[in-house]
Amino acid sequence: MRAGKANGQLVEIAEGQDHNIRLTEAAMSNFTDLVDRYIAIWNESDDERRRDLITRTWTEDSTYLDPMVRGEGRGGIDAMIRGVQAQFPGLLFRRTSEVDTHNGRVRFAWELGPQGGPALAGGVDFGVIVGDRFQTITGFLDFAPKPAG
């Protein structure tokens, strides 16, 4: 094994035929911390604290997209999250899976529901990481309430 970097993350590179790259525990922890900070953004109702979390979590040219909402840039993502919070007052997001990662990409599952209660919506998000921040996240809904009308 020899140490190296891939996508800005410390990795161990296996010598031999298969040349496997495995993220070290520290790099995996960094990805998990990033995802948990992302989830915290959705739950933060204080505008100033949420904007600070967004700055520390998203690149300036960031984008978010799922079947129901879209946000572009940090300001657009903040406005999008405020809208979701207004639509689902009192509900909280929670990560429901481990963070799976490779090549600067992450995948994780989440749910939205009352604290300690059953989930109202859930899905899987896929993100692209640049440096130590998300550049893009694309969300897929596994279940969600049907829109009125």
Tens-digit pLDDT profile for residues 19-65: 444 544 455 579 999 999 999 999 999 999 999 999 999 999 999 99
The answer to whether 108 touches 98, Cβ cutoff 8 Å, is yes
- Report d(CA 135, CA 115) in Å as an integer: 29
Q: Which amino acid, 115? A: Q
Q: Which domains does the chain have, with CATH numbers?
A: 30-143 (3.10.450.50)
Which among 122, 88, 99 has a CA at the least distance from the CA of 38?
A: 99
Flag whether the pTM goes above 0.85.
no
- CA-nearest of 83, 57, 65 to 139 is 65
Asked if 14 and 6 count as a contact pair (C-beta separation under 8 A), the reply is no
Give per-residue pLDDT as tens, 77-132: 999 999 999 999 999 999 999 999 999 999 999 999 999 999 999 999 999 999 99
- Res 54: pLDDT: 98
Is residue 145 within 8 A of residue 69, CB to CB? The reply is no
